[in-house]
Amino acid sequence: MSTVKMILRWIRRIISFRKIRWPFIEGYLTDIVEVFHEARNLYFEDVLPKLTTKMSYDEVDKILQSEIPANVEVGALLMDDSYYIPSKALFEAVDRTGVQKFLEYRKDVFDCDDFAWAFKAYASEAFLLNSVGFVVGKVRMPNGEEGLHAWNIALVEEHGKTVVYTVEPQTDVYSKGLFTTIDGWEYQPMLIIM
Ligand SMILES: [Ca+2]
C-alpha cells in the first residue's frame, strides 16, 4: 500500500472514531467541486482542440476494423460523431492520474468491468477525451485457461499516425494493438463501446 493511501486510511479511522463532522465544509463542498469543474472545463475546451486530432466516426471505425483479424467478429459500438485523439504523451498523463489507480479490487462490486468503466468515464469527465473505449472479451491466460474479461482501449497519435492501444486498467500496463498480449495474457475483444 502506498504511503498516501495509508495516511488517508488513518485520517478516515480518526474521523470515524471521533465522529468529526465538518458542517461548514460539507455545506460548501458542492460549490467547491463545481468551481473546480467549471475552471477545468474552460481550460480543456480551449486547450483540447490544440492538443488532439479530431477524427470522424467513419475514420475511427475504419481504424478499429483494420485491427480485427479476418474471420473474427467484434462488435464496435461507436457512440459519437467525432473523436478527439490525444498524443501518446497526453494519454500517458491521463492514465497516470486516472481514478482507477486509486481504487481497489473488490469481487463483483469493483472488478475488471468496473475498473474499465471507471477509466473510460474518467478520461471523458476529467479530460473531455472520448477516445478511450470499454472492451469486453476473452483472455487466454498463460496456463491456457480462458475467461471473460473487461478492459480498455485508447486511440492515440504516435509518429503522425492514429494507433490503437490495449490498456489493462487494473495493472496500468498497455500494449499496442487491439488483439494483443499483456503479461502473457492474450486479449481477444468481443465488444467495444466507445
Ligand atoms: Ca463488476
Name the packing angle between helices 88-96 and 112-127 (round to 10°): 120
Regarding beta strands 185-193 and 132-140, do their DSSP bridges make them parallel or antiparallel, or are they unpaired?
antiparallel
pLDDT per position as a tens digit, 164-175? 999 999 998 999
Query: Which residue has 472492451 as its cell numbers?
Result: 135
For residue 64, the CA-to-ligand 1 centroid distance in Å is: 26
For residue 149, the CA-to-ligand 1 centroid distance in Å is: 10
Residues above pLDDT 90, as percent of the chain: 60
pLDDT per position as a tens digit, 39-62? 877 777 777 777 889 999 999 999
* Separation of alpha carbons 117 and 113, rounded Å: 6
Residues 6+ apart with CB under 8 A from 104: 110
Is 60 exceeded by the pLDDT of residue 20?
no
For residue 108, the CA-to-ligand 1 centroid distance in Å is: 4
- Classify residue 134 by burial, with Cβ atoms within 10 Å: 0-12, 13-18, 19+: buried
The answer to whether 60 and 76 have CB atoms below 8 angstroms apart is no
Which residues are within 5 Å of ligand 1 (an ion), measured at CB?
111, 113-114
pLDDT per position as a tens digit, 82-130? 999 999 988 998 888 887 777 889 999 899 999 999 999 999 988 889 9
**Residue 86 three-state SS:** strand
The answer to whether 100 and 122 have CB atoms below 8 angstroms apart is yes
pTM higher than 0.85, yes or no? Answer: no
